Structure 1
Amino acid sequence: MFNVGKVADKAWKMIKMVNLIEGKHSRYNREEIQNLLDIKKNTFFRYKNCLEEAGIVIYYNRKLKAYKIREDCHLKPPNLTLSEALALIASSNSILNNSELPYYEEVNSSLAKITATLPSKVQAVLEPLKSRIHFSLNSLVDYSECREIYTLLDNAIHKETNVWIKYYSHKSNKTSERIVSPYILDFKKGFLYLIAYCHNKNETRMFRVDRIKEIKITRDKFKYPDDFSLKKYMGNSWGTMRGEKDVQVKVKFSGDIARWIKENNYHPTQEVEELEGGSIIMSFTTSGLSEVKGWILKYGASAEVLEPESLREEIKDEIKGMMEVYK
């Protein structure tokens, strides 16, 4: 059976191996590389052979007592078309325009290197367009302060190593210590989340990375489940909060808001029924209604929940509470 986890781990380790030995001042012998990558001697030479087959010649420098990449070996610059280069820059700008986002420095560095390999004529065309095409990817947290945490998580994910974390839970307003097996880092709705198996609760959970107060890499390994997928885990959730069961929701929108809602796709299961007078009924199946409730409330009197009755009652109670505040 094809194991995606093993292939990804091998690819990552081979890239890491190149990173370790390509630096001008790098000094790593075989044993040190094996320890850093957590591989055995025969695996080291297997990776070395694979890289050499790809044109990256690795040799042992007796004077430095370290493995190095032959100086005349360089990765060929990508042969990008103008539209491909523009797409790369435009998509990268979503991170480069916000230094608070994760991997800001890495994206900035890699984009500069790729751009430098492009023909001068292409660079001249791209330069004035860099600031004119922009995709927003807004962060609600300054992740520059969490750089060490998500870097350690990134390494732990690739090495499939358990981590110890001290985590603040907003729901309980308490900080607890946990051992987790990190599966995936997912940036969603302005926040970076860690999806991991929590050994304290014996289930897979989501953790906001900015709420991880301390982190340590353990020596314990885990195996990434072959049958795990982020899409399957999130199910029909509206955003990041998962519920125990799916619920059919129907909302009637009217006025200008109805036209706005009709133009957008908010959920994979979404269906829209058009009514006389311009109103619409939007139907979808989701789990975890708290985020749905907040979304509906922002449309005020232009949105009316038809189903389920429980959500309709919750919104009534919320409106009563607001009336008490604003009386």
Structure 2
Amino acid sequence: MSRSERFIQIEQLLLDHPDGLHQIEMARRLGVHKSTICRDVAILTSMLPLMEDSSGRILLNKSGYLHTLRLTMHELEALHLSARLFCKVMKFPFPHASAALRKLAEAQGKVSPALASRIRDTAEELDWFVSGNSKKYSAYRKIIEDLGIAISEKRPVVISHFSRGKQIFQQFRLFPVTLEPHPEGKAVHLIGWDIDTDPPFFRTIKSERIESIILGSPAPELFATIPIDLLHEQLRNAWNIWTSDSEPVTVRLRFSTDVSDRVVETQWHASQSIEPLPDGGLIWIGHIAEPKEMYPWIRGWGPDVEVLEPEWLREQHREDFLRGVSLYKGTDV
């Protein structure tokens, strides 16, 4: 086995063993002397982010590891579209996003200079957001990086979070599970398994309101008890990110002929179904975990939508509509 082949195998061994391996164990697995591995590790340290823990295990620092990825032009375009959508909808800087896009552009430069140029333009747009919020961005970046470490290494955390409703800081001890964007709120939310409640449940926290994070030690055995499949099921029923332990609520909306074409051409929710009406309008039906989350979308259709059910949402929409009309009393239309 050549040295270059051995380097590749050492890298793969460390990727497969995130807790690290002793040099004597790597030597045994690769069938070489420990002194050979010792020399290899010394050389690889300049090529890979290797670390040695207190017990002498060699491991990869995942936060500094550069992954090799091969993408087709079409796959790169799909990633670029995702970044463009995030950039247009979220309207705030997200850590490391522009750096990732510049690497994609560099990788694509020789195949499609035009696509590479568009990817760099998006990176510039993201950097422009950062320039106007440099002080705030620095603190937010640290929060996102710590959450990324906690998710990757299956660590519990103690989070200090500001509650807008209560106007106080609250502390939560939980396992971060995933970060989810909220397009209508133009924010990123953390979904974590709250381990201090009885019974535990998935708590959703707006990441921009997190004041501080204390990282705990990795606890993969405890993390393995979290019902991740339940979270996936709950998110499928959500309009965006609001979940519920209850059964989804049936929402029925009547859309006018003026907007029916626009409504029908988009898949607004995985559960939706459409019933055409004789006058050219339509009935939209969806099964939503928490209909309050979709209410801004409903209101956005103005007088071209009528809420049919649930009854409480119909009443709320009626009251809001009347309150809006009262603002224009005495105004010529």
Same fold (TM over 0.5): yes
Deviation of residue 130 (structure 1)?
5.0
Task: Tell me which residue corresponds to 2:309.
Answer: 307
> 1:204 and 1:47, CA in 2 relative to 1: closer, same or farther beyond 3 A?
farther
Deviation of residue 249 (structure 1)?
1.4
> 1:129 and 1:173, CA in 2 relative to 1: closer, same or farther beyond 3 A?
closer
State how far apart, in whole Å, the 1-side matches of 2:149 and 2:262 are.
43
Task: Tell me which residue corresponds to 1:108.
Answer: 101
Is contact 1:163-1:182 (8 Å) kept? yes
Task: Tell me which residue corresponds to 1:55.
Answer: none
Q: 2:294 aligns with which of 284, 292, 295?
A: 292
1:245 and 2:247 aligned? yes
State how far apart, in whole Å, the 1-side matches of 2:67 and 2:154 are.
31
Q: 2:273 aligns with which of 263, 271, 278?
A: 271
Task: Tell me which residue corresponds to 2:285.
Answer: 283
The residue type equivalent to 1:101 in the other structure is: F
Task: Tell me which residue corresponds to 1:68.
Answer: 44
Task: Tell me which residue corresponds to 1:185.
Answer: 179
State how far apart, in whole Å, the 2-side matches of 1:42 and 1:150 are.
33
TM-score (norm 2): 0.68
**1:31-77 CA deviation, whole Å, 9 max, x = no partner?**
xxx9xx6545389739995xx9xxxxx95349xx9462687xxx998
Task: Tell me which residue corresponds to 1:200.
Answer: 196
Is contact 1:95-1:104 (8 Å) kept? no
Is contact 1:77-1:114 (8 Å) kept? no
**1:85-125 CA deviation, whole Å, 9 max, x = no partner?**
54455545556787712431441353245236xxx4x2445
> 1:90 and 1:282, CA in 2 relative to 1: closer, same or farther beyond 3 A?
closer
> 1:99 and 1:113, CA in 2 relative to 1: closer, same or farther beyond 3 A?
farther
Task: Tell me which residue corresponds to 1:172.
Answer: 166
Q: What is the RMSD computed on CA atoms of the aligned residues?
A: 4.1
Is contact 2:250-2:288 (8 Å) kept? yes
The residue type equivalent to 2:316 in the other structure is: E
Aligned-pair identity (%) = 22
State how far apart, in whole Å, the 2-side matches of 1:94 and 1:245 are.
31
State how far apart, in whole Å, the 2-side matches of 1:303 and 1:234 are.
25
SS at match of 1:175: strand
> 1:48 and 1:152, CA in 2 relative to 1: closer, same or farther beyond 3 A?
farther
Gaps of 5+ in 2: 1-10, 48-65
Deviation of residue 238 (structure 1)?
1.6
> 1:286 and 1:43, CA in 2 relative to 1: closer, same or farther beyond 3 A?
farther
Gaps of 5+ in 1: 1-13, 19-33, 53-57
TM-score (norm 1): 0.69
Greater displacement, 123-132 / 219-228: 123-132
